[in-house]
Structure 1
Amino acid sequence: MRDEFDSKGSAPAAAVVVGEDLSRLSVDDLTRRIERLTEEISRTEREREARGGVRAAADALFRK
């Protein structure tokens, strides 16, 4: 059974749906949404950078 709470003891974050209607969200909800999106952007950028490093190493190897 999946734990309903993360390791910090808080409830899991709701999924962010791109393009969803934001008019019903409170200011606090909008702030949390921005935080989740910012975290996801950072995670995506780290993954892209990691792949870029692998690509550069592969390019260097096959140029020899």
Structure 2
Amino acid sequence: MDIDENLPRKADDILAALTRQDLDPLSVADLDARMETLRAEIARTQQRRDYAVAHMASAEALFRK
């Protein structure tokens, strides 16, 4: 279980709004653009996560000495 799972989400949470958005009115080009934007955001989020994991590992190694 992730510690953040217990935190309440804001009513205006952009991720929640994104998942509720009706995709039916979007064209194929709009859907392609949306997917490309989401892929870029996933890559950005993954980079930040990788940095946080490495940073935490470095801190743990430092304090274990």
RMSD (Å), alpha carbons: 1.3
Q: State percent identity of aligned pairs.
A: 45
Which of 1 and 2 has greater Rg? 1
Structure 1 gaps of 5+ residues are: 1-15
- In 2: Cα distance, 1:26 partner to 1:39 partner: 20
Q: How many residues align?
A: 49
Partner of 2:34: 33
Can you list the C-alpha shifts for 1:5-55, whole angstroms capped at 9, x where unaligned?
A: xxxxxxxxxxx8222000000000000000000000000000000011110
Partner of 2:43: 42
Q: TM-score, normalised by structure 2?
A: 0.71
Partner of 1:59: 60
Structure 2 gaps of 5+ residues are: 1-16
Partner of 2:4: none
Q: TM-score, normalised by structure 1?
A: 0.72
Report which structure shows greater RCO (CA 8 Å, sep ≥6). Answer: 1
